[in-house]
C-alpha cells in the first residue's frame, strides 16, 4: 500500500492518491481522491431511524434522552 500526492488541508496532511497491489502482479489499483471536506455539516436525518411501516415513526436525535451516569450491577 502506497500513499502519495499528499496535500495539507486545514492543517492535516492527506494523501490524494492511494495505490495498492501485490509485488508479483504487474497491475496495481489506484484510488485518486478529488475532494476532501473535513467536518462537514451533516443533516440530522442522516442519523435518524428509518421509517419502516408497522415499526413506529422516525425518532429525532434531540428527542432521545442521554444517560446521566454509568450504571453498574
- Rounded CA separation 47/44 (Å): 6
Q: What is the pLDDT of residue 49?
A: 83
- Rounded CA separation 8/10 (Å): 6
Q: What is the pTM of this model?
A: 0.51
**Residue ranges of the chain with per-residue pLDDT less than 70:** 25, 55-73
Give the number of other Cβ atoms within 10 Å of residue 17's Cβ. 13
Long-range interactions of 50-59: CB distance < 8 A, separation 24+: none
Q: What is the pLDDT of residue 4?
A: 94
Q: What is the pLDDT of residue 28?
A: 81
Q: What is the pLDDT of residue 59?
A: 58
Q: What is the pLDDT of residue 18?
A: 94
Cβ neighbours of residue 51 closer than 8 Å, sequence gap 6 or more: 57, 58
Amino acid at each position: 500500500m502506497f500513499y502519495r500526492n499528499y496535500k495539507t488541508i486545514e492543517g492535516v496532511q492527506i494523501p490524494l492518491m492511494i495505490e495498492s497491489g501485490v509485488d508479483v502482479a504487474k497491475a496495481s489499483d489506484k484510488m485518486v481522491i478529488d475532494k476532501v471536506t473535513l467536518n462537514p455539516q451533516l443533516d440530522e436525518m442522516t442519523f435518524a431511524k428509518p421509517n419502516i411501516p408497522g415499526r413506529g415513526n422516525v425518532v429525532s436525535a434531540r428527542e432521545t434522552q442521554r444517560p446521566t451516569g454509568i450504571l453498574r450491577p
